[in-house]
């Protein structure tokens, strides 16, 4: 559990809700930064977080507009397209989509974002607070090469760098297991191999039966 994540998330109104619904005793020590107080150091991404991030083929990213409305967008690509640049930085190639540029516009005014990474098959989820900076791909060829996804057909318009402020693992409660095509392929591979072996054995036995000579039984009984 990241205390920094909950320190950021626990605003006075959140604390009031916890008090009202009886969970203040559990979460009340996460009071959030006080006025004039220096924020704690950013949470470094450890081996568990790095491995989890590398295995994801998509994530949800939330930003906030200048009028206060939240906006959630899905970002997808091959597994591992979201890269761990260093201990406190994530990066990904931002492919062209429907060209509404809502997230792009939002972070131009407020760079705070929240990421939600899901592993439905294993019922795990990772939440990340960060600050997003966008760079035109043509302006930083070295970074573009580092975040490139070879063979992926999407057109890269921008490069996204997220300075991680904090992260937290969520409990698996209420996550319905779901499986991608690739995950199903891996899970079903042993079953398909066993089925193929049984078919080969069945075919071998069928050939043996057909290869045996036909046996004619003698007529029952003989005349006296």
Q: Are strands 124-136 and 156-170 parallel, antiparallel or unpaired?
A: antiparallel
Distance CA 98, CA 224 (A): 98
DSSP assignments along 164-201, one per residue: EEEEEEEP-TTPPP---HHHHHHHHHHHHHHHHHHHHH
User: pLDDT (tens digit, 9 = 90+) per residue, 125-146?
Assistant: 999 999 999 999 889 999 988 9
Q: What is the mean pLDDT of residues 113-132?
A: 95
The second-level CATH assignment, the architecture, of 41-170 is Roll (2.30)
Q: Where in the chain is the domain with CATH 2.30.110.10?
A: 41-170
* ∠ CA 64-69-74, rounded to 5°: 60
Q: Are 85 and 91 contacting, i.e. CB atoms less than 8 angstroms apart?
A: yes
Q: If we measure between CA atoms, which residue out of 44, 156, 35 comes closest to residue 96?
A: 156
pTM: 0.77
Residue 37's pLDDT is 57
Q: What is the mean pLDDT of residues 195-204?
A: 89
Q: Where are the alpha helices (DSSP H) in the chain?
A: 3-9, 12-20, 24-27, 47-54, 102-109, 141-147, 181-211
Query: How buried is 61 (Cβ within 10 angstroms: 0-12 exposed, 13-18 middle, 19+ buried)?
Result: buried
**CA 189 → CA 28, 177, 183, 184, distances in Å?**
48, 19, 10, 8
User: pLDDT (tens digit, 9 = 90+) per residue, 31-86?
Assistant: 655 554 555 678 899 999 999 999 999 999 999 999 999 999 999 889 999 999 99
Confidence of residue 102 (pLDDT cuts 50, 70, 90): very high
Kindly state the tokens that stand for 41: 């150091």
Max Cα distance, the chain (Å): 121
Query: How buried is 21 (Cβ within 10 angstroms: 0-12 exposed, 13-18 middle, 19+ buried)?
Result: exposed
Other CB atoms within 10 Å distance of the CB of residue 115: 22
Q: Are 38 and 4 contacting, i.e. CB atoms less than 8 angstroms apart?
A: no
Between the two ends of the chain, the Cα-to-Cα distance in Å is 97
Query: Where do we find the tokens 């203040």?
Result: 24
């Amino acid at each position: 559990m990241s205390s920094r994540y909950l320190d950021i998330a626990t605003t006075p109104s959140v604390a009031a809700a916890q008090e009202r619904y009886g969970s203040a005793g559990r979460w009340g020590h996460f009071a959030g930064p006080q006025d004039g107080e220096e924020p704690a150091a950013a949470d470094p991404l450890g081996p568990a977080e790095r491995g989890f991030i590398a295995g994801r083929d998509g994530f949800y990213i939330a930003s906030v507009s200048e009028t206060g409305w939240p906006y959630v967008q899905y970002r997808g690509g091959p597994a591992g397209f979201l890269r761990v640049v260093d201990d406190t930085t994530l990066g990904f190639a931002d492919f062209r989509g429907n060209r509404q540029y809502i997230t792009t516009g939002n972070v131009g005014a407020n760079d705070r974002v929240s990421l939600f990474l899901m592993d439905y098959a294993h019922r795990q989820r990772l939440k990340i607070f960060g600050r997003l900076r966008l760079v035109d791909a043509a302006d930083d060829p070295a970074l573009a090469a580092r975040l490139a996804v070879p063979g992926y057909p999407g057109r890269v318009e921008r490069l996204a760098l997220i300075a991680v402020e904090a992260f937290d693992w969520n409990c698996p409660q209420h996550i319905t297991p779901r499986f991608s095509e690739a995950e199903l392929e891996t899970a079903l591979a042993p079953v398909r191999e066993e089925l193929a072996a049984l078919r080969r054995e069945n075919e071998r036995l069928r050939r043996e039966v057909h290869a045996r000579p036909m046996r004619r039984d003698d007529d029952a009984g003989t005349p006296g």
